[in-house]
Structure 1
Amino acid sequence: MAAMWTLLSVFLCISTVRGEDETCATCGQSPPAHSAALLQSSVQRNSKTAAGPHVFSPAQLFGPGPMGRHVSQTQMGRMGPRMGPHPHQRMSQPHFSFEQRRAGGQSKGESLYGGAVLTPCQDPSAWTPEKDVYGWCDMYSMPVQPDAATCDAGDGCRYSYGYCYCDKKEGCNAVGGTWNGYTCREEMENMFPDYLEKIREAAAAGTCEGKDHYGYGVKDMVAYPAMMCCTDYPSTMCEHNVQPMTPCKSEAEFLPDAYAWAYCDLSATNPPKETCDATPDCKEEWGWCNCQSKASCELLGGYFQGGTCKDEMKWWNPGDHKGVKEALDKGTCAGVEGAWGDIKYQVDWIGHLCCASKKSVCEELDHYDSGYSSTGMY
């Protein structure tokens, strides 16, 4: 404490000597009785309008305290300059709400960055601003929780461990919950302002080439919102006329209703290994029974969750579709890149689940076995 007062005394003396024609005889000594008053005076004078230009506050000398430090937006909501903001980790921006903008005279579809609509779609009319990108069902504010029968009757709802969970808006509302959706409009508006500015520049220029923010390209910025919100996807404002492809050599081989992934929650019944393995499409692995079809899962008293091959294709980036098209045109996958690297890594695993031949387009073209089909892996 004594050292603190000594430092403060020196600081006050410097301020006094520089701001007034006086000398200080107490520098480095114990704090005088009027030190608190001097400190208050110094803080009050620490402003842009202070008369004394050479008066420095502790904040000016040592930097702002932890509550006053500025955190760059490039450090929040993402891991680095090459990664976009995670869709579930958005940061509130100083934007006006839709109602506020409308009250100010802007139409429903107008962008905050000029009068024209700013969308990630190739065709602006393909934009679905009010569609939910995701959402959650609030059951906790209900005075009485739905019982098991009421919950299980709701579309996309299930009762587990004493609670009702709903994944769809219709089911949530049907059982009395409150659906909280996050719309496509919000997905775009809550992007970082620097990203939106680059997207606006690309839209005005008619090209996304050379438009990036610290190496993060506009085509990657718009890929996710376009995937979720544009009816003309896999085309985007950056990648035009992209032909939708499948992981198979021919479209006729593609099995849209097969499951690319499946999970059967059998925690309530926990059937023995013999029963599990005797049920079609079910198999016990690592001590747990899992079923690859809804009918088999429910036969054992489980709750089934799964994504079809058609649903899985919605998650492909434009670069993946373009990669498969390039491979088919060349007759080989050698040297062909997808959105995230060698195209074979994108198609091999899903190919053995979603193609009638149990082989991907790359396995068919280049005559190799990825190992997925032969091992019988799900």
Structure 2
Amino acid sequence: MDTPGQQQGEEFRQDLRAPGARNAQARRLLSTAELAPLTRLSTARSLLAIAQTLGWIAAAVALAVLTWPSPWMVLSVLVLGVAQHAVFILIHEAAHYRLFAARWANDGLGRLMGMAVGLSMCTYRVTHRLHHNHLYTEEDPDTAIHGGYPRGRLYLLRKLGEDLLGFNAWKTYAYFFGAPAINDDTRREIRPLDDTSPALRAAARQDRWLVLAFQLAAPLAAFAWGGAQGLLMYAVLWLLPLVTVLQPILRLRAICEHGAVTDLSSPLTAARCNRTSGSLANWLGRALLFPHHVNHHLEHHLYPAVPHYHLPRLHRLLRDKGALDTAEVRDLSDTWTRIFAPRRPRDARHA
């Protein structure tokens, strides 16, 4: 479903691959009357999600400030990294035009949150729509992140360790700034900013400059507020979790959403819903990897016009109609086993 006012090159398409296959059958099971309430935006629900995320950030910062300096800072950094990931998810909602119905509010707050965590929401919108519109094809810029799994336990652990040490943060931010991606199979360069409308391209260009300006102004403001200690606290409590704790979370979530799948012909099997209840491992996974209902990633690909707070309801509706009987719906613990499994032969990974 496209958002009113969008031009060609701005739309997030519903995944219509393999006409007549299971995903088309699932789509027919939902009538317009059933789907319409699920795409309705709620300002109150979005504000609540933002308030919850800001609450965790405020609590972690308060703990660090009240106990500075002390070992409690480690806990604050960990919580802040998890909360920053939740901010990324809210930016994802804004990129899909699903945060607020008013475009000025949706894009204004989405861009502001992006500035705070160092990413360009408008540029991400351009890149992310290619992921939706070309899932697991040579045009998908995200395949380099989640494709080819399982790659072996040691490979993934090494990557997560590099992420935690901050070695790969520059790659993350290059992605969110629209840098070209290389398809591992074809070695083809994907240039996200070449495939969009002139309006989105111009907005992305402006937004990147605003993000850079904000990131230069923030440490100066911290220094003006608290001198050298204020600058140190900003670096430890905000920049450090952005380049360390956040990085393995982003990788793991992406792999849990799309990694180690075996059927790429349908979004029902090329994207995954990770169940996050029923066990301690699932609950912990939800807290660390899946804020704001993003564990329902399969459902999100089927219907990107559904905001995050309606995804559980969409899941139940599809489940009750039998549309998910053979879909990629798993406990997170099962997903975990699959993505850490021994490396498969190349031809099997890309079946």
Q: What TM-score do the two structures reach when normalised by structure 2?
A: 0.23
> Bigger relative contact order, structure 1 or 2, given CA contacts below 8 A and separation 6+?
2
Higher share of residues assigned helix: 2
Query: What TM-score, normalized to structure 1?
Result: 0.22
Answer with 1 or 2: which has the greater Rg: 1
